[in-house]
Structure 1
Amino acid sequence: MRDKNKGNVTKVRLQNVGNQYFAVLIANLICIGHGNLLGWMSPSLPTLLSETTPLKTGPLNNEQLSWVGSINSIGALCGTFSTGLLTTFIGCKRAMIFLTLPSLIFWVLVFIGDTYYHVLIARIFTGWTGGGIQTTLILFTSDIANDNIRGRLGCFTPLARNIGILMAYIVGAAVNYFIVPCIFIFIPILFVVCFSFLPNTPQYHLLRGESKEAEDSLKFYKGFKGKNDEESNALNEEFERLKSIAHEKKADEKIDPKDIFNKAAIRGLVIGVVLAWLTQLTGTFIFSTYAVLIFKKVGVSRIDPYVASIVMACVQIFGSFCTTQISDHLGRKFLVLSSLFGAAFGLCSFAMYAYLGHVGFDLSSYDWIPVICLCFVIFIASAGIIPLAVVCTVENLPSKIRTLGLTISTFGYNFACFTCLKLFPLLMEMIGLHCCMAILGIGCILGALFVFTVMEETMGRSLEQVDKEVARVHKKSYGQLPTYVPTVETCPDKK
């Protein structure tokens, strides 16, 4: 049976996606572990800032706090490029397993460290893991996922990270500072044990001429049962398609300047970098890092700041879960726009509350308002811009520069993260919390206007279809049609 609209046999026959879900869930164990690393800081800050700090160098001052909060973004840049290089030689699977090493080093440093510099180095390894995940996990997911569930599977990554953050908030609030690393060090170990049994992607094996291993991998990820000839023919057709792409990929690996400096490519790169910055302007990562500190600063007295941060993390998980259910139904652009306008509303509401408190109004009876505002911002951002930023970046980049574009976008993301986390505690003291929130809210409004005018809807289109549309745009603008070869790294089945 052939799909009359698409003319594609493979997608009709190979719809057993159970192994794809299973593999992505296992792969995201490393993201849960990274969430533990990220979430460790917020409940630990009151201890590190107090006179009873376990650090021999004394309580952290404001300048030290800004470095501890932001230096993980510098580590992320190192993790992005080093893991990207590893992926080229050993594939996504082995590169992801390697990422457990910086996670283990982090927990060891937290346990044995007794100075400010131990904490600083540990936070660098937090970023190293995160940067590596940004490089490898999206490629692994795109390699094995069918187009009709690619957005949903891609949204598992922020969901897993948020679950890890929640775990760190709960454990950090309940147990001693030195007990936390003893608990969470087992998450990356569990990931290695489980993930090691999964096969590498078919694309990885084909690029290395390992035809038998590639076929076995394809059978696993497509849930091939071999029950009838039609299913076997569909698998053979898909395998031949992947081999053809791999052959063309080897024959045309060099990127020419014209592949980058054309209207379609530049547009995709700009979208990727802007979306990376917008994920930071929602303030979600600032809140995850400085949650307890922010609630204390704004004067939340009747609600325990630790409890408030835990509630916030639960809302973040719920928002991420919603995206996994609706990202392939409502459309990318609609969700991103709703997310940005909603975040702007919540941030401006928080800014107004903080300003009224700053000028002397008695808000003690309304100290639930900032908790509600931040929970709303985190929910709406987690249900839109944050999980979809990478998905939209992939779907707006021409295939030939897709890996390069993701690297540039990731660099922009980490630079934005470093800037926001470094400046936030300093600006909070200089211009006040209310001004910081207002700046973020205005940034979200401007970002929403950019998305509305520049970004197109890509839901439901295969990456090969995106390339064809990119080629048409290029031909219209320059009078010639470039050859864009769908890369093996990010091109799942046609829809």
Structure 2
Amino acid sequence: MIVSSITMVLKETQPIYQWTNVFNQYYGTILGSALIFNQGFMTGFMSTALVEFSSEMSPLASGPLTNEQVSWVGSISCIGSLIGTFSFGYIANVLGCKRFMLFTVISFIVSWLLIALGNDYLYILLARLIGGWAGGSLPPALVLYISEISNNDIRGRLGSFPLVLFNIGVLISYILCAEVDYKYVPYICFWIPIVFAAIFTMLPNTPQYYLHNGKFLNAENSVKYYKNYKGLCSEEDVALYNECERLKSIANTRRTEVKLCAADFFTKSAIKGIGIGIALCTIGQFTAKFPIISYAVMVFQKTGTSLDPYASSIMMAIALIIGSLTTTYFADRLGRKVLIIVSLLGSAFALLATSMYHYLYLNGYELSSFAWVPLVSLSFDVFISSAGITPLMMVCSVENLPPKIRTFGMSIISFMMNIIAFVSMKLFPILLETLNLYPCFMIYGVGCIVGTIFFYLVLEDTSGKSLDDVGINEDAKMTHTLSGRNYNTFSTYVERKNSV
């Protein structure tokens, strides 16, 4: 009887209540991104430290790093990321995204301690490997966490926040390393993951995690928290009931599905989702953003510009942040597809411009009046890639995967992404040494153009679509009703209804 009356009220209540107070969603996103900030700090730190490690005045007991050793220090974190992608799917399925993120804090702390206390090449390698594990497993966990707590209309905006925090970490590390002896920096950064863990542990896990484990009251409280439920009007009660029942219906549907098997990864929607995710992560590497950031000082020295490479790195990091902030505004307004295409075309232009400058420099042309070209073009490259393809490749990957394989599908995509990233990071300094800078950047630029054509033809825009509806067949969608059958009714609306 109660369920019937609720159903009638739901049908009569118009318009549908909109959750507009999303402060807790922003709070959870920014707080969760603190570990990404820490990762950005480590990336920027190593970019500056590598120049010192490879100089004649190297502080390492093992002596100055060779070009081969530099390539290993720059790329071995990708091997750690590969290990992280294997563990992510299994551990996150048990712990949930929030607890898994807390679990990665241990590796970040160990990584900073190894850098601080070790004075040998092998210590640096081990620190990068352990930090890489966290760096590889953290982004998919964070993206899933953000996707599961956010409203549909701001999911793309919130999904770009981790990159903003990553880039802020890179900028602060560039500035700090330019002013402070590198050996003191790890002791400062050591506290970042500790402070994060102390605060983030107080937040609830996602509603989907609680429902998956049959904790319905916890799921309701989680929805209340992330929707900022106040219980001040009946419309808000109806909206809460609506959302809780929708999520519970989806959880029940998934619980009755056959256990995950190999065949689930070969359905049309699964192949398409995984294929798009791998393509996004592959083509995203052709913007050369991550090699440029990781070897920033070395790259600016190589271009032949007369501008100070350390100052240029700081200016480029500012462009990174501006690009990330641009994404937070345009991700849900322009749409994913448009932003990705614009981003790839912009990166292609910037990389080819830098390639042309270096070619002219090597052939003896007078370029003193154009010394600004490498700084402007490379800054534009990291700006436009940060505004489009880089943050959206993980967001779009999540949005294109069917719910049943989403966690393990993200593991597959992350695994492939880290293989490609390792190859890119490992070969970049070697290519600079053997081919030189201009043919290297020309290859990256052409790759961006090819990627633009590919995504124009095959990518669909997922902006504003419900994350839980991706890949669900029409029969499953029919179960997303508010009739309340086959499961208990959530408490809040019923309690208020009975009190009346």
Distance 1:150 1:485, change over 3 A: farther
Deviation at 1:83, TM superposition (A): 3.2
State how far apart, in whole Å, the 2-side matches of 1:161 and 1:176 are. Answer: 22
Give the secondary-structure state (helix, strand or coil) at the position aligned to 1:50. Answer: coil
State how far apart, in whole Å, the 1-side matches of 2:52 and 2:277 are. Answer: 38
Partner of 1:288: 293
Matching of residues 120-139 of structure 1 within 5 Å: 120-139=125-144
Residue type matched to 1:414 in 2?
A: N
Partner of 1:231: 236
Establish whether residue 450 from structure 1 lines up as the match of residue 460 from structure 2: no
Partner of 1:429: 433
Deviation at 1:259, TM superposition (A): 3.3
Deviations 1:52-85 (A, max 9, x none): 1111110000110111111101111112222332
Deviation at 1:253, TM superposition (A): 5.2
Give the secondary-structure state (helix, strand or coil) at the position aligned to 1:179. Answer: helix
1:180 alignment partner, one of 173, 182, 185: 185
Deviations 1:207-259 (A, max 9, x none): 22222222211111111101122211221222122222222222225235553
1:10 touches 1:238 (CA, 8 Å); kept in 2? Answer: no
Residue type matched to 2:40 in 1?
A: G
Deviations 1:14-40 (A, max 9, x none): 332111111111111111111111111
Distance 1:485 1:185, change over 3 A: farther
2:353 touches 2:377 (CA, 8 Å); kept in 1? Answer: yes
Deviation at 1:265, TM superposition (A): 2.6
State how far apart, in whole Å, the 1-side matches of 2:433 and 2:458 are. Answer: 36
Partner of 2:387: 383
2:75 touches 2:425 (CA, 8 Å); kept in 1? Answer: yes
Distance 1:241 1:279, change over 3 A: same
Show structure 2 runs of 5+ residues with no match.
1-6, 481-500
Partner of 1:198: 203
Question: What is the count of residue pairs matched by the alignment?
Answer: 471
State how far apart, in whole Å, the 2-side matches of 1:63 and 1:420 are. Answer: 14
Partner of 1:240: 245
Deviations 1:309-341 (A, max 9, x none): 011011010000000011100111111001101
Residue type matched to 1:229 in 2?
A: S
Partner of 1:463: 467
Partner of 1:416: 420
1:24 touches 1:153 (CA, 8 Å); kept in 2? Answer: yes
Partner of 1:492: none
Establish whether residue 405 from structure 1 lines up as the match of residue 414 from structure 2: no
State how far apart, in whole Å, the 1-side matches of 2:185 and 2:380 are. Answer: 29
Distance 1:306 1:218, change over 3 A: same
Distance 1:431 1:291, change over 3 A: same
State how far apart, in whole Å, the 2-side matches of 1:429 and 1:441 are. Answer: 19
Give the secondary-structure state (helix, strand or coil) at the position aligned to 1:226. Answer: coil
Distance 1:298 1:122, change over 3 A: same
For structure 1, which segment, 89-98 or 326-335, has the greater mean C-alpha deviation from structure 2 after superposition?
89-98
State how far apart, in whole Å, the 2-side matches of 1:10 and 1:374 are. Answer: 49
Partner of 2:316: 312
Partner of 1:95: 100
Deviation at 1:359, TM superposition (A): 2.2
2:144 touches 2:398 (CA, 8 Å); kept in 1? Answer: no
Deviation at 1:171, TM superposition (A): 0.7
State how far apart, in whole Å, the 2-side matches of 1:96 and 1:223 are. Answer: 23
Partner of 2:375: 371
For structure 1, which segment, 161-170 or 207-216, has the greater mean C-alpha deviation from structure 2 after superposition?
207-216
Establish whether residue 17 from structure 1 lines up as the match of residue 22 from structure 2: yes
State how far apart, in whole Å, the 1-side matches of 2:145 and 2:16 are. Answer: 19
Distance 1:255 1:483, change over 3 A: farther
Show structure 1 runs of 5+ residues with no match.
473-480, 487-495
Provide the alpha-carbon RMSD of the alignment.
2.2
Residue type matched to 1:45 in 2?
A: L
Distance 1:414 1:358, change over 3 A: same
State how far apart, in whole Å, the 2-side matches of 1:8 and 1:344 are. Answer: 51
2:269 touches 2:471 (CA, 8 Å); kept in 1? Answer: no
Deviations 1:104-139 (A, max 9, x none): 111111111111111111111221121121231011
Give the secondary-structure state (helix, strand or coil) at the position aligned to 1:77. Answer: helix
Distance 1:485 1:264, change over 3 A: farther
2:93 touches 2:407 (CA, 8 Å); kept in 1? Answer: no
Distance 1:256 1:272, change over 3 A: same
Distance 1:465 1:208, change over 3 A: closer
Give the secondary-structure state (helix, strand or coil) at the position aligned to 1:12. Answer: coil
For structure 1, which segment, 349-358 or 84-93, has the greater mean C-alpha deviation from structure 2 after superposition?
84-93
Establish whether residue 272 from structure 1 lines up as the match of residue 277 from structure 2: yes
Give the secondary-structure state (helix, strand or coil) at the position aligned to 1:330. Answer: coil
- Identity among equivalent pairs (%): 45
Distance 1:464 1:178, change over 3 A: closer
Partner of 2:176: 171
Distance 1:448 1:142, change over 3 A: same
1:62 touches 1:425 (CA, 8 Å); kept in 2? Answer: yes
Matching of residues 116-155 of structure 1 within 5 Å: 116-155=121-160
Residue type matched to 2:139 in 1?
A: Q
Give the secondary-structure state (helix, strand or coil) at the position aligned to 1:178. Answer: helix
Deviations 1:326-376 (A, max 9, x none): 110011111100110110011011111111112222323322111111001
Which structure's CA Rg is the greater one?
2
2:85 touches 2:412 (CA, 8 Å); kept in 1? Answer: no
2:304 touches 2:358 (CA, 8 Å); kept in 1? Answer: no
Q: TM-score, normalised by structure 1?
A: 0.91
Deviation at 1:261, TM superposition (A): 2.3
Distance 1:10 1:419, change over 3 A: farther
